[in-house]
Every structure is written in C-alpha cells, then in structure tokens.
Amino acid sequence: MFQNILNSYGLDADQCLIEPFGSGLINHTWKVSLADAEYILQRINNNVFKNPEKIDDNLYHIKKYLQATVPEYLFAAPLATLDHKTVVISDGEYYRMLPFVKNSHTIDNVTNSDQAYHAAKQFGKFTRLLNDFDPEKLGYTLPDFHNLSLRVEQFKEAIQNGNKERFNLGNDEIKEVILHMDIAEKYAQIKKKREIPLRVIHHDTKINNVLLDDNDEGLCVIDLDTVMPGYFISDVGDMMRTYLSEANEEEQDVKKVNIREEIFTSIYKGYMEEMDGILTPIEKDLFIYGGKFMIYMQAVRFLTDFLNGDVYYQTSYPDHNLSRARNQIALLKQYIRSEQNFRETIDGMEIKIN
C-alpha cells in the first residue's frame, strides 16, 4: 500500500516502520520511522475535503509568507517529493508527508490551566503572524464550515422535512435552540454589517491540534486543513467549547457538563497576549460571544443531524446525536450563567502583549 507513496519521497517501505498515529477522526495518519529520520504520513479524507489541492495551495502560500517574514517559526508544512510535489495521488487517494517534530506530543483533553494557556497562545500567535497576509489568497477548503446562518436554515428545514417521530423525541431540545436564536441573529448582523475583518483562522482549535514540548509548553499548531479566511470567534469559540468542560460532547450525563472558569481565564490570557494589539475594539467586545457562537452552532448541527436521520455524524447508539445536542445545550446554558464572571475576569486582567 505504501511503497509507491514512499518511493515518491525517495524512501523504501521495506526499510520503514509504519504504524498508526494520533487520534484524529478525519484523516488517516501514520508515523513512518527509519534509523535516522521520522515522518508523519497522512491520507486526506476527500469525502470531507472535496478539493484536497486547495488545502495544498493554501499551505504553499502560508509557508512561503512565513518563511519570508518569520523564518524561525515552526511551521509543520508538507514535504516535497522527488519531483517537487507536496501531494501524492495513489489509487484516487491523496497523501502527504510531514516532518515529525522530535520531543513533541499532543494531548486529547485539557486537564489544567497551563495547557489551555499554551494552546490559546499558539493559536493566537498563528493568526498574529499572518495578520499582514491577505486572507483572500486562501481558498475555502470547507465552504460555509462555520456559517451559523446556514446551519440555522438547515435546522429549520429539518423541522419541516425531518423524521416526525424524532421531532417528538427532540422536542425539548428544539425549544432550547429556538430560545437561543438571538445568538444566530447576532452572527447575521456581524456578517451583514461587516463589523469585524476576515482573518487567517485555523477553525479547529481542539487541544490535540497543538504540538507541546516535554514541559507541556506550546510549539506550534498542526492539522492545518481547515485554515482559511474566517472570523476570530471561530477559533476562540472552539477553544471554549472544547476546553472549558471536563466532559466532552460525548458525555451522556449532562450533570457532568461543567464550566471551569479558570480555564476561560487561561484561554483569554494566552490568546490576548498574542492578539490584543491586533483585534479591533468590536472584536474584543465579541470575545465572550465567541463561546456562545460555537457551542450553539454545534448544538444546532447535532440536533439537525438527529432530525434528518443521522446522515452526517457517525453514531454508535440510538439517539446519539440527540444526546450530543443535549450535551451542548447544557454547556451553552452553563456558559451563559458564567458570562458575568467572564466579563469581570476580562475587566480585571492586565495583558502583557508579545
């Protein structure tokens, strides 16, 4: 399976140890080890990313810009083959090779404030370093990925045309989504009035998309397939959605869904140390909204998929997507209850700008 791909890089599969690597759910990833070198091999999921060449083009432009402006920055870009390509197509599948960063690791869950701080700092640094790069040069690898207006329209269509039995099962969750529709209305206003600028945004700021060193300090961000033009609320919101609670979106017992306010403090501190001098006043005012934006959107997406018969997200038990939606609604309500405390934290914090 790997021989032709590795040959493209001048490697012999018989001389390599190839083993599955990481916990990503979209792309297939392997670690390729030789006596004197280590690499990461990935197969891009072209069922999700319909145009993998667009990913490759985006990374080319970003790599070129960063090499010219901050050559010391660790940017884990795809390596070139012997014929100078950064994507290998084999049997209709798309592959790429990346350097393996020694003395680095990832984690799947935020267990302390320092981890949240260093992750937020790395995502903020990435966007800051690309502040003068024109985001319009990048293609949309997942069009409408964080378009909340579209997700709400899909939700409304699911209510009209979805499974009626499931509508009854999810009636309480439907009411909650409708109750918090002001979050979507605010997003529509932001877009219509162009209140905040497009930036180069990662769009998938889970903790396992940050490389950490042996001291759990941040090295760089990875998994760059979703890097494209977007609003900063996508990145800060996804951090809050996935870092604040000890229980992730798969937890069925909503009593275990909580908000760790000290983690919010660390996210804000780490991100703003990099971005405080970059964000506009309106963006700063929207920082807390970012969490509501992403938590609400994920609740809408899970509930919509449940009403439509589980056509997008993989499920492992009946009503799995309804459980996920219920989980995110619980997180949203807890987040809103903590909102005043978040504001007081921000008002009382002094940020050291890098």
Distance CA 289, CA 193 (A): 17
Residue 300 has pLDDT above 90, yes or no: yes
pLDDT exceeds 70 at position 189: yes
Q: Which of 67, 62, 68 is nearest to 130 (CA)?
A: 62
The three-class DSSP label of residue 25 is: coil
Distance of alpha carbon 203 from alpha carbon 233, whole angstroms? 9
Q: Tell me, what amino acid is at 118?
A: H
Which residue did the predictor score with more confidence, 38 or 262? Answer: 262
Q: Which has the minimum average pLDDT: 18-27, 86-95, 219-228, 277-286?
A: 18-27
Is 77's pLDDT higher than 60?
yes
Is residue 79 predicted with pLDDT exceeding 80?
yes
* 3-state helix/strand/coil string of 125-183: HHHHHCCCCCHHHCCCCCCCCCCHHHHHHHHHHHHHHCCHHHHHHCHHHHHHHHHCCHH
**Closest by Cα among 207, 232, 204 to 218:** 207
Q: Look up residue 109 and give its two tokens.
A: 């869950």
Confidence tier at 351 by pLDDT (50, 70, 90) = confident
19 sits in which H/E element: strand 17-20
Neighbours of 130 (CB within 10 A): 20
Predicted local distance difference test score (pLDDT) of residue 4: 84
**Percentage of the chain lying above the pLDDT 70 cut:** 97
Give dist(CA 270, CA 123) in Å, integer: 9
- Residue 251: which pLDDT band, with cuts at 50, 70 and 90? very high
Cβ–Cβ < 8 Å for 3, 13: yes
Would you say residue 70 has pLDDT above 70? yes
Those residues whose C-beta lies under 8 Å from the C-beta of residue 308, and which sit 6 or more positions away, are 158, 162, 163
In this predicted structure, what is the pLDDT of residue 27? 62
Mean pLDDT of 183-210: 96
The pTM is what?
0.91
Which residues are paired to 105 by β-bridges?
A: 212
How many CA atoms within 13 Å lie on the side-chain side of 105?
A: 9
In the numeric block, the tokens 């987040």 are attached to 335
Angle between helices 320-337 and 287-307 in degrees, nearest 10: 160
Beta-bridged to residue 30, according to DSSP, are: 20, 41
- pLDDT tens, position by position, 22-45: 655 556 889 888 888 899 898 887
User: Long-range contacts: 65-73, Cβ < 8 Å, 24+?
Assistant: 65/130, 65/133, 66/129, 66/130, 69/129, 69/132, 70/129, 73/129, 73/220
Please say if the pLDDT value at position 312 is more than 90: no
